[in-house]
Amino acid sequence: MTGPIVRFAPSPTGLLHVGNIRAALFNWLFARRHGGKFVLRLDDTDRQRSKPEYEAAIEQDLTWLGLVWDAKERQSDRLSHYDAARDKLIASGRLYPCYETPEELDFKRKRLQAQGRPPVYDRAALKLDAAARAKLEAEGRTPHWRFKLISEEVRWDDLVRGAQHVDEASQSDPVLVRADGSYLYSFTSVVDDIDMAITHVIRGEDHVTNTGAQIQMFEALGGTVPVFGHLPLLVDAKGAGLSKRTGSLSIGDLRAGGIEALAIDALLARIGTADAVEPVTSLDTLVATVDFARVGRAAARFSEEELAHLSARTLHAMPYADVRARLGADVDETLWLAVRGNLTKLDDAKAWATVVRGSITPVIEDAAFLTEAAAKLPSEPWGETTWKDWTSGLGRKGKALFHPLRLALTAQEKGPEMAKLLPLIGRTKAAARLKGQTA
């Protein structure tokens, strides 16, 4: 048996946010764990809203997060496939034309609701004969097309939710083709999944209600029904949905804010599961542990504060080799190992490079003590014991000892261990700073 084939199908009509990426991440991890294939499929049939810059942003975000695709498709290149599937459903009697206007449909819905009945489409269009349809079209009406559901209970075994079923007798026949001839995503998605041999459809639970109808579409088109998995949606710390806040939680904004890609991956892969949220140094760790049986049914709580904290912890454990290309020449491995445990964002390491190797204006607190301390600086070479050897002979303890020295040597209230920073600063700079000189 070959590995699974999964897909991520965003619309290039806006920026990806954490909710989009959680679905993409689970698809990618699942494919990698089982030796499968991850397809990026752009739902770009909305030509007015689809923009090249959004497509580029989607690719940039996925690449930055390490979610590299094995194949790429565009729905705009596949219109002939949708036409053929449409014609097949019409020929089999499963797709039928409807002529009601939006206003007439709205009136029907409201009337049914006023009667306490579910607003299910009454299939009035099926009662029209050829002459009636011709008359409506002569009046200027253009039909939209509905998929005729079979009144049966559709069942599937969901990767996340377990045994599921929906009674399609209680559902409206879904519109697959709009009056302007354009196709709805629920239809094009099924056609694409068949043509691309998608074996598993992993998506948000907001699509659960579509699944029964889509299973019938797969069957009507002669395709193999994939395995479905519906992930709980993300909510904020108070349990509210994130949909209205996706602007602030776009992947691009998080990247610009200094959040580490691996922290986003780790948080989205682990929240709402039985596994602890903890830093990882490679996606391989997440690949090895992805398991839909460990995904809970409750909504996953996403916290920006937790993400920021996890991002910092990710940096604290990151080997120099993994960040060298992003740091530049000013931060070597010795400096990285000295400062990484105190970083909030990667750019903070560059700031500490300035403190250690650049020029700063020292903050002088207790000038007399600092002059005495400068006089007692030991000769080089210096190592990590130099700080302890030097400060033990200055006749002070606690904050009275360390605070004025840190301010003078780094111009910062807090930071990495001075035992590690002092040898990097060096005797010449240290002596000048203790005397209040810019160095």
Give 279-337 as a DSSP string: --SSHHHHHHH--GGGB-SSPEEP-HHHHHHHHHHHHHT--HHHHHHHH-TT--HHHHH
Q: What is the mean pLDDT of residues 368-381?
A: 95
- The residue-averaged pLDDT of 2-14 equals 95
Q: Where are the domains of the chain?
A: 1-77+232-317, 91-177, 323-434
- From 76, 291, 94, select the one nearest 183 (Cα to Cα): 76
Q: Mean per-residue pLDDT for 345-355?
A: 95
CA atoms within 13 A on the CB side of 138: 6
- Retrieve residue 121's tokens: 């489409």
What was the pLDDT predicted at 46?
A: 83
pLDDT bracket for residue 346 (50, 70, 90)? very high
DSSP letters spanning 340-399: GGG-SSTHHHHHHHHHHHS---PPPSSHHHHHHHHHTPPPSP--TTHHHHHHTTSS--HH
**pLDDT of 348 above 90:** yes
pLDDT score of 339? 96
What's the rounded Cα separation, in Å, for the pair 280 and 289? 12
> What is the third-level CATH fold of 323-434?
Arc Repressor Mutant, subunit A (1.10.10)
- Nearest by Cα to 213 from 247, 176, 168, 252: 168
CATH architecture of 91-177: Alpha-Beta Complex (3.90)
b/e code 187-200 from CB counts within 10 Å (16+ = b): bbbbbbbbebebbb
Alpha carbons 170 and 153: distance in angstroms, whole number: 10
Tens-place pLDDT, residues 118-139: 899 999 999 999 999 999 999 9
Q: Which two tokens stand for residue 302?
A: 């996403």
> Comparing C-alpha atoms, which of 334, 341, 336 is closest to residue 314?
341
Question: Under 8 Å CB-to-CB from 285, ≥6 apart: which residues?
Answer: none
The answer to whether residues 382 and 423 touch, using CB atoms and an 8 Å cutoff, is: yes
pLDDT at position 243 = 60
Bridge-partner residues for 39, per DSSP?
Answer: 7, 71
Q: Measured in whole angstroms, how far is the alpha carbon of residue 286 from the centre of its chain?
A: 14
- Which CATH class, in words, describes the domain spanning 1-77+232-317? alpha beta
d(C-alpha 432, C-alpha 439), whole Å: 6
Q: Could you tell me how many residues make up the chain?
A: 439
> Among 1-5, 182-186, 281-285, 387-391, whose mean pLDDT is lowest?
1-5
pLDDT score, position 1: 54
Least Cα distance to 21 among 231, 229, 311 occurs for 231
For tokens 């504060």, what's the residue? 305
**Mean confidence (pLDDT) of the chain:** 94
Distances (CA, A) of 235 to 239, 261, 298, 301: 5, 20, 10, 5
Distance CA 16, CA 11 (A): 9
Q: Which of 216, 152, 161 is nearest to 190 (CA)?
A: 216
Q: What is the pLDDT of residues 251-307, one digit of tens each?
A: 999 999 999 999 999 999 999 999 999 999 999 999 999 999 999 999 999 999 999
Q: What confidence tens digit (pLDDT) does each residue in 232-254 have?
A: 999 987 777 776 444 558 999 99
70-114: per-residue pLDDT in tens? 999 999 999 999 999 999 999 999 999 999 999 999 999 999 899
